[in-house]
Amino acid sequence: MKIAVLGAGLAGLSAAEELTRRGHEVVVIEKEPHPGGLAATIKRSGFEYDLGPHRFHTSNSEILDFVRGLPGIDLQELKRVSRIRLLDRYFDYPLALSNVLSTMPLHRGVGMMLSFLAEKVRGFYAPREQQSFEGWVLSRFGRGLFELYLAPYNKKLWGIEPSRLSADWASQRITVPSLVGLIRETVFPSKETVRSLISTFRYPRGGIGEISRALASGITGMGGSLLYSKEPLGLEKNGNGWRIALPDGHMECSKIINTIPVNRYTRLLGDLLPEDVHRSASRLKFRALVFLTVLLDGNIEPSDHWIYTSEDRYLFNRLSISRNFDPNVPSQVVFEYSCQAGDEVWNMPKDELLRSTIPGAEHLGLFSSDKVRGVDICRRSHAYPIYNLDYAENVARVLNALEDIPDSVTCGRQGMFRYNNMDHSIEMGKFAALEVLGEASVKTHFNWNENTWADG
C-alpha cells in the first residue's frame, strides 16, 4: 500500500512515521522547503528561531515517551515565566486575581471587583447569552477585566469583535476559578496558588523544530520520501486509489492522509464534494501571523519566555525571548503580528515592520535601534483557525462530508480546523495512520467539538 501524506507538520510527520515504521510506502508532500509546519525552527543566514513561543506539554504519557524517545531529542524541563504588559506594568500570566489586584491601580482594582460581583448578581435574574466569546467572558469575569484586557487582546489576535467570536474559543482555553476559590485566593494568597502559576514545560535543546527534524530523518531512514517545495494541484479518485496532480507530473497512491488547511483540501477534491460543502469550507477562515526576529548586541533583561502586549501602542501582540528557552541561542526577540494574509501588516517589508516595532520595544525597555544586528521575517497564512459564530456548523458539514470520501482521512490543526497543541497533532497523526490501516478512527477518538483539551 502506498500512502500520500499532505503536509509535513507534526500531524503529517507523525502519521508518516507510524506508517513507515509498520513497513508501508509513504510519500509526504510539503509546500515549504523544510518540515515542521508551525512547529518548525527557521534556520537561515545566521538566524535560528521558532515561530513564536512553543512549549511542549502533554497529559498523554505515550506521546511524551514517543517524543522523548526520538533520536537526538534532549527535552529540557523549564519553569514557565510569562507575563502581560498592561498600563505600563507587568501582570502574571495566567492571570491570578491576587496579582491583578495588587498590581493594578487601586481605583481600577476596586472597579474590577465591583463589576465582577455585579455580573454574578446579574447571572441570577438576566443571564447573558453564552454563544459568543463576549457573553461567556463577561458573565465569568465582569466588564472590568473584559474591557481592560480580554476584549482588546482578543480583538487584536482575531481581528474581529468579541461578540462575533465563538464562546468555544474561551471555553477551550480559559480556565475559570470558582467564586469561592477567587475570594479565598484574594484574601489568603497561598503558597500553593503561587506555585501553580509557575508551571513547567518541556523544550528540546536546539529548538522546537528538532522534533520534526527527528521525525523527518526517521521517515527517510526507514525508506519513506519527503517531497519539499511541492503543492498538490488536484486530487482525483482512481478506482481503489488516488491520482495526485503535482507541478511536475502525477503520482498514484492507494490512500491519502490530509493535514493541509481543510478548505484548500476541499478545493483539491473539487467535484467529489457537493456545492454546500464547498460553500461551508469557504466560510472557514484562518488568522495569519507575521514573525519578525530581531538579533541583538548584548543581553536582554527580562527572564520571560513570552510577554503579551494587548495595547495599541504595540503593533505586535506577543514577543518571545529565544535565549530563555535555550541559553545557546543568540540574543534575539521574536515578535508576532496577528493579521490577515494580504493585509497591510502582512505586506509590510521587514525594515518598515522593524521601524514600527522599535518604539514599542524601547517603551518596554527591551532594546534600542542601535542594538539591532540583524532582522529576519517569516509569514504564515494559516496560523489560527478563526472560531467565529458559525464556524462549528461549517466545520461539522465539511468534516462529515470528508468522512464519506473513501481511502482518505483528514487530521491536524489545519485539516480538522481545530485549535490543536503540538501533542494533539502528533496524536492525531498517529490515529490517522491507524485509520488508513483500518485499526482506529480519528473522528471517534477526537471529538473536535468537545472541550477536553483545555490545558493550553
Ligand X SMILES: Cc1cc2nc3c(=O)[nH]c(=O)nc-3n(C[C@H](O)[C@H](O)[C@H](O)COP(=O)(O)OP(=O)(O)OC[C@H]3O[C@@H](n4cnc5c(N)ncnc54)[C@H](O)[C@@H]3O)c2cc1C
- By the criterion CB under 6 A, which residues form the site for ligand X? 6-12, 29-32, 37-39, 51-55, 231-232, 259-261, 264, 289, 336, 383, 412-414, 420-423, 425
**Which amino acid is it at 451?**
N
CB of 455 to ligand X, least distance (A): 9
Burial of 351 (0-12, 13-18, 19+ CB in 10 A): exposed
Rank residues 241 and 261 by Cβ distance to ligand X and give the closer one.
261
CB of 181 to ligand X, least distance (A): 26
The answer to whether the Cα torsion of 343, 346, 350, 355 is positive or negative is: positive
**Which amino acid is it at 265?**
Y
Rank residues 319 and 348 by Cβ distance to ligand X and give the closer one.
319
Burial of 126 (0-12, 13-18, 19+ CB in 10 A): exposed
359: cell is: 518604539
Rank residues 149 and 203 by Cβ distance to ligand X and give the closer one.
203
CB of 139 to ligand X, least distance (A): 28
CB of 54 to ligand X, least distance (A): 4
Q: Which of 421, 447, 440, 401 is nearest to 19 (CA)?
A: 440
Q: How far apart are CA 306 and CA 337, in angstroms?
A: 14
CB of 32 to ligand X, least distance (A): 4
Rank residues 286 and 367 by Cβ distance to ligand X and give the closer one.
286
CB of 426 to ligand X, least distance (A): 8
CB of 141 to ligand X, least distance (A): 23
Rank residues 29 and 100 by Cβ distance to ligand X and give the closer one.
29
Query: Which value, in Å, is the radius of gyration of the alpha carbons in the chain?
Result: 23
Q: How far apart are the first and last CA of the chain?
A: 37
Rank residues 182 and 378 by Cβ distance to ligand X and give the closer one.
378
Rank residues 86 and 216 by Cβ distance to ligand X and give the closer one.
216
Which residues, in sequence order, are CB contacts of 262 under 8 Å at separation 6+? 281, 284, 395, 398, 399, 402, 410, 414, 415, 416, 417
Burial of 46 (0-12, 13-18, 19+ CB in 10 A): exposed
